Every structure is written in C-alpha cells, then in structure tokens.
Amino acid sequence: MRYVMHEGQLKHWAEVAAARRARAARTRSSLPAPMIISDHLDGVKNPVDGKLYDSKSAYYQAVKDAGCEIIGNESPRRPYAAPDVKAEEIGEALHKVKEGYKPDLEFEVVDG
C-alpha cells in the first residue's frame, strides 16, 4: 500500500488522487472545444546559437541542427515501483525526524 502526506496528514494515495480528480473535474471548462497549442514564444534566447526565437518549431529545429537535445520533460522509460513500506514505518520515520534525527551523510566531491 502507498501513502502520501496530504494537508499535514498521512493518507492513502488513492484517496488523495480521487479528491484531486474530483476537484479538477469541477474546475474544468465544459466548452466542447479542442485544446490549441500555440507555436509562439516570447523571444527565447537559444543558448546554442545565441539567437532569439519567437517560434517553438524554429527553436527546436535550431537545437536539433546544432546536435543538441532538449531534456527535462520526457516521460520515464519504465514505471516507478514504489517501495514496500508500511504506514507505521513511515509514521515512525516522521516522528524521528520531528524529534531532530539527522542521518550521517558523507559526500565526496569529484571534479568531472
């Protein structure tokens, strides 16, 4: 079972997801119109060539022509498998953190 923190309380994830879907359904427009995605940009500077672009497609093409790739919005290649953790274990961990517990962490800085 998966649990999430919602409004300061530990709740089952399905409850939170159902509440979010219901809220989204209430705020969604009832107009029967397609979603339109514009090609317009407000003068975005391309870090590869230094030029300003006002068209998404032109910007994407310039990045591609330079041999680069835009990253950050890709979907995960495989679904996330949630760890098998019980609600009691999560509660105990939260209690320890609230009491001031801090794990000993060691970091090694490596020049790349």
Q: pLDDT tens digit string along 40-95? A: 989 899 988 999 999 999 999 999 999 988 887 777 677 667 778 888 998 998 99
User: 4 burial class (0-12, 13-18, 19+ CB within 10 angstroms)?
Assistant: middle
> Where do the structural domains in the chain lie, given as residue ranges?
1-31, 37-72
What's 83's DSSP letter? Answer: -
Report the predicted TM-score, pTM, of the whole model to 2 decimal places: 0.39
Query: Which tokens is 31 given?
Result: 């107009």
Place of tokens 């994407």: 60
Alpha-helical runs (H) found in 28-80: 56-65
CA atoms of 22 and 88, how far apart (whole Å) = 28
